[in-house]
Structure 1
């Protein structure tokens, strides 16, 4: 279903990728996820919206001016109602602000911080751009999770900032919890927090984006054809068949199968 309202506070609302060459990224993600692209003007640094059925689902950007290029990675932006207040909550809870709240023209207000484990996460207060208009279907974001080696610290931080309801899902050799918005149930989880055993040893803390695909094996094979790499899988999980892969600049993300049909063109 196409959504055009602002996402509830604490929901992963948007994702974008800073990459040295957006045209290379378009050549990779377009065929892989069925995206079209709308390129912004020079005042936006040619920030590019990835579109599915004409609806924004992700962003692609390049460093502007003389900015040093950061390591290429997908950034998850959590929806907030008052970005200044949320940034202060994050500071008080042990987060580090990398980018103070700033206006993104009329589109909204953004900030970027690291949680106490070191994972980078963005905040988005909607203006004319509310975030992803399509999720949970092929070619769109289906899941987001913060991964580190300190689940307790992550739970404490995100609980303090967003008031998440946490459901422990840990098992032998790994620690994991789903998070839901206040007043909702684990069945309505908006994301996850992973600790020990969820990633290969030495993986830095980060937020991981999962994209839905109709066929994980076919999509994984296409990643290789398009010049990406397969890091793990495909393998079956209780929630779908999953593969962890990387794109043309080394950015990591995951693919997850879904039986959800694609939306028809236009709002439903």
Structure 2
């Protein structure tokens, strides 16, 4: 499960690239009750989504040329420079070379061989998000991949993730990813990888990571999210053994999901 006791390879930060930060802050305030705290004049418009004074995510203006609205998952690394080399050796791409963020930490922006964007965070004074696995906070990360086998090989090589497959019916498998480093017997699963089906590939779907946020009532949160301008992608549905989930895009077009219940279990 996700935890704030971050280990290498586990998600430790999450931010939203938005064309209008104020509009994004207003939307997520309505959906999750988040408040926005600016990083200050030196932050270039970047700021933090907070819940009861604790940082649960972040948001900033679109900074990369050609970038569209999207949530970016960051994974913990002890050495961002070394991870970038590993990414390139494994067939990925470094979009933004490692850079220091004042004294908070060091980041790099990357793309895996299937085309999914992600990032790494090397902690400095900021180790990561303050809280996860609570209502209105990050509870799972998921990759829809054009080539799930290639994605698993890549992340296994770069982050030493291990995978456990669970059947989604027919030949469809869901691969649960775990990062090494926690104590014996601890549940280290933090995300999943799912192969995009042929109809989605034919329609032009590309690989992407997206976050799941925990909610106490999936239907109510979905209603709120759509009433405030979100676009439905998957209406609330029960997933046996997992809970009730839904997926949508925020008003700017960034996809995210809601989950009422536990994250996937094999």
TM-score by length of 1: 0.89
- How many aligned residue pairs are there? 256
Measured after TM superposition, the shift of residue 199 of structure 1 is 8.8
Closer, same or farther: CA 173–97 of 1 in aligned 2, 3 Å: same
Q: How does 1:1-268 map to 2 (within 5 A)?
A: 7-63=6-62, 68=65, 70-171=67-168, 172-182=170-180, 187-197=187-197, 200-201=200-201, 202-237=204-239, 238-258=241-261
Q: Distance in 1 between matches of 2:53 and 2:6?
A: 19
Cα deviation 1:221-252 (Å, max 9, x = unaligned):
00121111111120011211110111010110
Closer, same or farther: CA 198–221 of 1 in aligned 2, 3 Å: farther
Asked if 1 retains the 8 angstrom alpha-carbon contact of 2:242 and 2:262, the reply is no
Structure 1 regions of 5+ residues with no counterpart? Answer: 261-268
Tell me, what secondary structure is at the counterpart of 2:238?
Answer: strand
Q: Which moved more, 1:226-235 or 1:187-196?
A: 187-196
Q: Distance in 2 between matches of 1:112 and 1:35?
A: 25
Q: Distance in 1 between matches of 2:195 and 2:3?
A: 33
Q: Distance in 2 between matches of 1:97 and 1:199?
A: 30
Measured after TM superposition, the shift of residue 91 of structure 1 is 0.8
TM-score by length of 2: 0.90
Closer, same or farther: CA 5–29 of 1 in aligned 2, 3 Å: closer
Name the Cα RMSD after superposition: 2.3
- Compare the two structures and name the one with the higher strand fraction: 2
Q: Which moved more, 1:182-191 or 1:105-114?
A: 182-191
Closer, same or farther: CA 68–96 of 1 in aligned 2, 3 Å: closer
Q: Distance in 2 between matches of 1:74 and 1:198?
A: 24
